[in-house]
């Protein structure tokens, strides 16, 4: 059965894997092309891994929804982790506080049609990203 919305708690590596698989399936069923479904799945992977790495726990919601008369697939990633002090720096290419490529957040922003991040130290992080159909 096609689902319009799936919310996955991110606690362990296996949850990231499940989120990726479910996001890809939901995107395809919503009618996104294969490359764009892969982009949704990849963005989910980036965001879910960030949650595990920095906040240890949080959740990722993927949903197909109508906005302004058009359909889109949205990702909402939230956590109550330490938050990001300087979003502008965190969004910069090649910035990383975790010894990786440092492309994660900026890469997600580039892949997505819409991208929004809210965070403050001690307040957790909330990322909303979307691709239009």
Partner 1 sequence: MLDGETVVHENDAAQAIRLRALYQIDEMDLERIRSLGSALDGKIDAAVARFYEWMRPLPEFNEYLSDPAVLERVRRLQVAYWVDFLRGVIDAEFVASRRSLGAIHARIGLPLDTYLGGMNSFLMTFSEVASESDSDSFDTSHVTSLSKVLHLDTAIVIDEYNAITKTIIAEQGDALMEMSTPVTEVWADILMLPIVGVIDSRRSMEIMNTMLSKIAETRAHVAILDISGVAVIDTAVANHLIKVTRATRLMGCECLISGVSPAIAQTMVELGIDVGTVRTTATLQDALGMAFHVTGHTVQREA
Determine if 21 is a binding residue for partner 1 (CB under 8 A). yes
Q: Can you tell me whether residue 18 is helix, strand or coil? A: helix
| CB-count exposure of residue 66 (10 Å: 0-12, 13-18, 19+) | exposed
CB nearer partner 1, residue 46 or residue 79: 46
Closest by CA to 8, choosing from 31, 24, 30, is 24
Q: Which stretch binds partner 1 (CB under 8 A): 1-9, 35-43, 65-73, 79-87?
A: 35-43
CB nearer partner 1, residue 76 or residue 108: 108
Closest by CA to 105, choosing from 93, 123, 119, 97, is 93
Q: How far is CA 66 from the centre of its chain?
A: 19
Per-residue binding string, partner 1, 53-92, x by CB under 8 A, is ----------------------------------------
Residues of this chain that interact with partner 1 (CB under 8 A) are 13-14, 16-17, 20-21, 24, 34-35, 37-39, 41-42, 45-46, 49, 93, 100-104, 106-108, 110-111
């Amino acid at each position: 059965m096609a689902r319009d919305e799936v919310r996955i708690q991110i606690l362990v590596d296996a949850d990231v894997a499940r989120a990726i698989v479910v996001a890809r399936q939901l995107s395809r069923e919503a009618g996104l092309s294969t490359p764009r479904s892969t982009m949704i799945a990849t963005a989910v992977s980036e965001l879910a891994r960030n949650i595990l790495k920095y906040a240890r726990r949080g959740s990722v919601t993927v949903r197909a929804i109508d906005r302004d008369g058009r359909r889109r697939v949205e990702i909402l990633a939230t956590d109550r982790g330490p938050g990001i002090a300087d979003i502008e720096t965190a969004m910069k290419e090649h910035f990383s506080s975790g010894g990786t490529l440092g492309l994660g957040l900026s890469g997600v922003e580039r892949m997505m049609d819409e991208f929004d991040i809210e965070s403050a130290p001690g307040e957790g992080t909330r990322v909303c990203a979307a691709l239009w159909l």
